[in-house]
Amino acid sequence: MVTKQTMIDWARRKLSAEGFTALAKVGKIEDTAEYLIISFPNDFPSDVVELAQRRIDRENRIQNQGGDYLR
């Protein structure tokens, strides 16, 4: 089971967790910890919500530019 603190730690990492990258490659951003964080912003520190949103936004830009993670 993934704890809230684990999700916070993943979001605060400079590099994406392997799970985020793997899920992004198959178009499953909605299954990531980052997505859960932005879905429940009142349950997480504001810096974590912002970091999670930035990571998802960056991934969306990669997909829209024809990057490796196109669905």
Q: What is the C-alpha to C-alpha distance for residues 35 and 29, in angstroms, rounded to an integer? A: 7
Number of domains in the chain: 1
Q: What are phi and psi of 3, to 5 degrees?
A: -90, 165
Tell me, yes or no, whether 36 lies in a domain: yes
Q: What is the C-alpha to C-alpha distance for residues 10 and 64, in angstroms, rounded to an integer? A: 24
How would residue 71 be classed by pLDDT, with cut points 50, 70 and 90? very low
Tell me, yes or no, whether 31 lies in a domain: yes
Place of tokens 């009142």: 42
Q: List the structure tokens of 11.
A: 């979001």
Which carries the bigger pLDDT value, residue 46 or residue 66?
46
Q: Domain containing 23: what range?
A: 4-64
6-25: pLDDT as tens digits: 999 999 999 888 889 899 88
Residue 69 has pLDDT above 50, yes or no: no
Q: What is the C-alpha to C-alpha distance for residues 41 and 65, in angstroms, rounded to an integer? A: 28
Tell me, yes or no, whether 18 lies in a domain: yes
pTM to 2 decimals? Answer: 0.83
